[in-house]
Amino acid sequence: MGTIVEYLFSTTIVTLLTMLLFILTARSLLMMLAPDSDHPIVNMIFNVSDYIMSPARYMIDKTGWFADSPIDMAHLITMLAILALNLLFLVF
């Protein structure tokens, strides 16, 4: 009984993390292709991804890392953290 619950829990977490990765990937594509779009779906993707990336942005601002970098490193740090969590839950 415990293994079914653990399997469902880990599968749900992996699915949610994969959805977050798709949202971050969609944001990176939208930033290149349609940065000034006012479409509601584009606004939703930007709002959700901003909420996801806010801890990484706070860490970068607080420590001063990558202050002069033209690349949004919060995006990369967030994607790497989500991938690490995804791999952690795939083990179970």
Per-residue pLDDT of the chain (92 residues), as tens digits, is 568 888 888 889 999 999 999 999 999 999 888 878 888 999 999 999 999 999 998 988 888 878 787 888 888 999 999 999 999 888 76
pLDDT for residue 90: 80
- Burial class (CB within 10 angstroms; exposed 0-12, middle 13-18, buried 19+) of 24: buried
What average pLDDT does the chain have?
Answer: 88
Give residue limits of the domains in the chain. Answer: 2-91
pLDDT for residue 92: 61
| CB-based contacts of 92, cutoff 8 Å, min separation 6 | 6, 7, 10
d(CA 74, CA 52): 10
Whether the Cβ atoms of residue 42 and residue 30 lie closer than 8 Å to each other: yes
pLDDT for residue 80: 94
pLDDT for residue 2: 64
